[in-house]
């Protein structure tokens, strides 16, 4: 994926705010919210990471596992790490290649695949720049609630205005009563625009080396703030929604398939209404074990959608027409079935707000469902940061050495489909807060409303259904009979 650019703006401050604008019990097992998860060491592929007993394998079962399964795993040198009973998968640690081959020969085992660690988001620090100062004296002293038009930076949040978020704030419950779970690098729940927004009892880390949800990167905090914020420094899409943070990516933006799978299943079990995954990787299905792991990832998404969770994902930043991919290449999770895959738009010098961003993947048949603001750079060294998207910066980020975000009131500018996706996740919460509870068909109703409400900004083969319009989507009657054909994932 193309690296994101993260310029920062440092500011004159009030005493409180500093604006530096710059994922023999047979039930599913998961790490405790208060203790470190089990030690996990995934094999990097190709050619890196641990080997031998440090490797983790994802075991897909045929039907119900035999009563002697645990003993058989132990007999080949492994231990059971996690059970995903909803999808018939067991994760095992400590297998050698010979042990994995022996386990795969069991009649209750369909496949045994070595887990793979991928770089799911770019490393953000390389193109970080310092910009001019902003006087933050007029920042609201407390959370604004539903109507966030008085947020300090609202005037430069072109993204919120383009998608008609302010109209939705005043005409809808603004996501009230809905839970959006963000699978990412964690979150900073102490940031002034996220304080009180994060449901800590529904948040968790699946990353062994980082056993709490605190964001050591910056990505997860930035993404979360676009979905729902307090409206002090910045406005958000679903201003009354709650957030949960599920850390599936490490500080460097890498993560394993099984950690992402675990995060999806956990969110579904915790009652998430929406999952946002601003992460992605382009994978060659000819790589050993890739097809099996992608299949398990798809099964996890299927479970989530069956439980009524709308799954929104970033389309990726390679500027690729995904409709013309060779059959052995897949953008994940963007090209899975049942997800809403989001491409990015961005202006240049505040002109043409609905232009496809220069980096965004596209393709309205198999690549993206619609587009949303992600920001863009014109000239890498001379462009105005005002064409980028603003988001909160984690106090504990360590990847941007020139950005001091320790005050808890700091903000960054960035661009990427990672930042387009949360606009749609927030919109899904807004739309769902408009609909009566339904035991089935909720995902289809919400998706149909979002796609039907999108503004036509260009050919479907490029933009999918169009550019997100939160207000129009929320006004949709939400009939499950609306056309849902552009939900991504037809490979």
- The residues carrying an active-site annotation are 184, 219, 418
Give kind and range of the element (H or E) at residue 373. strand 370-373
Per-position DSSP letters for 33-89, written without gaps between them: SSSPPPP--PEETTTEE--GGG-EEEEEESSSPPTTHHHHHHHTT-EEEEEETTTTE
Distance CA 321, CA 29 (A): 39
Q: Is 403 exposed, middle or buried (0-12, 13-18, 19+ CB in 10 A)?
A: buried
Give the number of other CB atoms < 10 A from CB of residue 295. Answer: 16
Distance CA 363, CA 349 (A): 26
107 phi and psi angles, rounded to 5 deg: -70, -20
In the three-class reduction of DSSP (H, G, I as helix; E, B as strand; rest coil), residue 225 is classed as helix
Looking at the DSSP bridge assignments, the partners of residue 467 are: 371, 455
Give kind and range of the element (H or E) at residue 463. helix 460-463
Distance CA 347, CA 102 (A): 56
| Residues contacting 351, CB < 8 A, separation 6+ | none
Give kind and range of the element (H or E) at residue 140. none
Distance CA 52, CA 76 (A): 12
Residue 87: closest CA among 287, 264, 278: 264
| Residues contacting 161, CB < 8 A, separation 6+ | none
238 touches 231 (CB < 8 A): no
262 touches 247 (CB < 8 A): no
71-to-80, 86, 105, 375 alpha-carbon distances in Å: 10, 22, 15, 53
């Amino acid at each position: 994926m193309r690296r994101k650019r993260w310029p920062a703006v440092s500011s004159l401050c009030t005493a409180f705010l500093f604006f530096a604008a710059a994922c023999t019990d047979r039930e599913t097992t998961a790490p405790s919210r208060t203790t470190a998860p089990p030690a996990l060491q995934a094999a990097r592929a190709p050619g890196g990471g641990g080997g031998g007993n440090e490797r983790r394998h994802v075991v897909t079962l045929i039907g119900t596992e035999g009563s002697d399964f645990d003993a058989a795993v132990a007999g080949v040198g492994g231990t059971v790490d996690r059970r995903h009973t909803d999808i018939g998968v067991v994760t095992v640690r400590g297998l050698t290649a010979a042990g994995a081959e022996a386990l795969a020969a069991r009649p209750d085992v369909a496949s045994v695949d070595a887990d793979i660690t991928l770089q799911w988001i770019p490393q953000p620090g390389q193109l970080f720049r310092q910009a001019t100062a902003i006087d933050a004296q007029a920042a609201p002293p407390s959370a604004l609630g539903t109507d966030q038009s008085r947020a300090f930076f609202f005037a430069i949040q072109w993204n919120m205005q383009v998608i008609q978020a302010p109209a939705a704030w005043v005409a809808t419950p603004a996501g009230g009563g809905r839970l959006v779970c963000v699978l990412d690098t964690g979150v900073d729940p102490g940031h002034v625009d996220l304080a009180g927004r994060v449901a800590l009892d529904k948040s968790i880390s699946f990353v062994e080396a980082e056993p709490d949800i605190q964001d050591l990167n910056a990505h997860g905090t930035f993404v979360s703030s676009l979905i729902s914020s307090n409206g002090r420094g910045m406005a958000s899409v679903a201003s009354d929604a709650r957030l949960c943070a599920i850390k599936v990516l490490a500080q460097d933006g890498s993560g394993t398939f099984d950690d992402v799978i675990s995060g999806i299943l956990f969110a579904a079990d915790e009652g998430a209404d929406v999952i946002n995954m601003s992460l992605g990787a382009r994978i060659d299905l000819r790589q050993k074990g890739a097809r099996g792991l992608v299949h398990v990832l798809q099964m996890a998404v299927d479970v989530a959608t069956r439980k009524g969770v709308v799954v929104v994902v970033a389309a990726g930043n390679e500027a690729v027409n995904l409709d013309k991919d060779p059959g052995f290449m897949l953008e994940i999770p963007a090209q899975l079935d049942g997800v809403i895959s989001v491409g990015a738009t961005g202006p240049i010098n505040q002109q043409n707000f609905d232009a496809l961003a220069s980096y965004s993947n596209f393709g309205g048949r198999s690549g993206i469902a619609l587009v949303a603001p992600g920001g863009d750079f014109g000239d890498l060294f001379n462009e105005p940061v005002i064409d980028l998207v603003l988001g909160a910066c984690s106090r504990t980020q360590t990847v941007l050495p020139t950005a001091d975000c320790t005050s808890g009131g700091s903000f960054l500018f960035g661009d990427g489909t990672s930042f387009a996706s949360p606009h749609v996740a927030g919109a899904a919460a807004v739309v769902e807060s408009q609909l009566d509870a339904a035991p089935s068909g909720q995902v289809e109703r919400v998706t149909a409303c979002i796609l039907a409400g999108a503004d036509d900004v260009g050919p479907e083969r490029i933009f999918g259904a169009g550019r997100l319009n939160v207000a129009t989507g929320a006004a949709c009657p939400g009939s499950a009979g609306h056309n849902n054909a552009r939900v991504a994932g037809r490979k």
